[in-house]
Structure 1
């Protein structure tokens, strides 16, 4: 083979290799684009429902706020009313159906995490009512605080600060 033939053969090999590289890259991009991100709610219907229900919950939580200087009975009533507002958010999300929530991985966990917040607040309210208040303890799950898990799923629904300091 002459030098010219080697160059032609080398150019053909380079074109084939480049084509294979491009094909593999496009295949990887396609699979990435169609994969469910386990950390972010991606279904529009779920995100819209969550945003709407969350706005309602925030309004009700703010309307039920009771100062820490109020009598214990009134404070417990405020905590319970705020928990009811969060429970309405949970019920609204569950009305979408477990299949739909499970199909977008963090959605079901997100709803579960709101229930965990209600459980922690309820335990605090009971301890307050008993006259032996204990600090509210929020769980850590998979190395993340409950608030991190609730706030970082790509849904327009941050935990109101009023829920964290009853």
Structure 2
């Protein structure tokens, strides 16, 4: 035994007890972490899918847009090369309209060089091309009337009550000034 004036040996170090989680708390934490990671992964995938989805009302597939814009450049040049002179004789106007309509048909044929599956993957393309063809046919009627010496009146084709030119200008590609193609000649 030691007396109070003698030093006592040092006490062994006390290790703090590690807090132990109870099993239910551990399960809740693990499930929460898994849920949070799952939510973040699903959110990232959803954001990527949304950012890369096809907007059905727009021509937006890059390979399709490239071909369309190339065709549009050619169409603009062809239309500029064959202006419809407003004060010219009806036969001259008819010839100019016919030349423009052939340019429209060449444009449509150029875009249709894309395979059908590629065009179908960018939803409005085929309907848009059909609208171009319908507009060219309506302009052909005007050209034919002028060629016969009769005043031709362009009747813009309609789809569900709306002029096809409205839908043609709403696909995200501005090819030509459609108002110039449908104005009175």
TM-score by length of 1: 0.78
Q: Find the partner of 2:106 among 85, 88, 98.
A: 88
The 5 Å alignment of 1:118-157 reads 118-157=136-175
1:115 aligns to what?
Answer: 133
Kept after mapping to 2: 8 A contact 1:47/1:156 = no
1:99 aligns to 2:117 (yes or no) = yes
Q: Find the partner of 1:73 among 64, 71, 91.
A: 91
> Residues 152 and 58 of structure 1: is their aligned pair in 2 closer, same or farther, counting only changes over 3 Å?
same
Alpha-carbon offset, residue 133 of structure 1: 2.4
1:8 aligns to what?
Answer: none
Alpha-carbon offset, residue 16 of structure 1: 8.9
Q: Which has the higher contact order (CA 8 A, sep 6+)?
A: 1
SS at match of 1:132: coil
Alpha-carbon offset, residue 140 of structure 1: 2.5
Query: Which structure: larger Rg?
Result: 2
Further displaced range: 59-68 or 123-132:
123-132
Give the aligned length.
Answer: 163
- Structure 1: unaligned runs, 5 residues or longer: 1-10
Q: RMSD between aligned alpha carbons? A: 2.9
Task: Give the Cα separation in 2 of the matches to 1:36 and 1:28.
Answer: 14
Kept after mapping to 1: 8 A contact 2:76/2:176 = no
